[in-house]
Amino acid sequence: GAVVSQHPSRVICKSGTSVKIECRSLDFQATTMFWYRQFPKQSLMLMATSNEGSKATYEQGVEKDKFLINHASLTLSTLTVTSAHPEDSSFYICSARPTGEGHGYTFGSGTRLTVV
């Protein structure tokens, strides 16, 4: 089945620093990937849609200059949280979907970000 690999699984950083999260589709090509954020006991909220070779599409209320997304190849998308603050602490998850009928969206294992 489709596999999406996400790294790191857990990161602790200091306020004001930047953190990069990688998301790779291992056995399929993904022209589009999705980045979600999930706060404790809440559902997944879509942050942005990452498009290979073009700019990401951000959801309303998500700061594009703070959450930098790069989709440099058909198998890799990165999310960089710039100038992180404690309120950015959350569970970040990427997702992609193989093309073709019947395929669901596969999620990476998630990244637990803690900003101290």
Partner 1 sequence: QKEVEQNSGPLSVPEGAIASLNCTYSDRVSQSFFWYRQYSGKSPELIMSIYSNGDKEDGRFTAQLNKASQYVSLLIRDSQPSDSATYLCAVNPRGGGNKLTFGTGTQLKVEL
Residues that bind partner 1 (CB under 8 A): 6, 32, 34, 42-44, 46, 49, 93, 95, 97, 102, 104-110, 112
Task: Provide the residue count of the chain.
Answer: 116
Alpha-carbon dihedral 87, 85, 10, 34, rounded to 10 degrees: 70
Please report how close the Cβ of residue 6 comes to partner 1 at its closest, in angstroms. 8
For partner 1, the closer of residues 38 and 82 by Cβ is 38
Q: How far lies 95's CA from each of 62, 76, 104, in Å?
A: 18, 11, 10
Please report how close the Cβ of residue 29 comes to partner 1 at its closest, in angstroms. 14
For partner 1, the closer of residues 15 and 29 by Cβ is 29
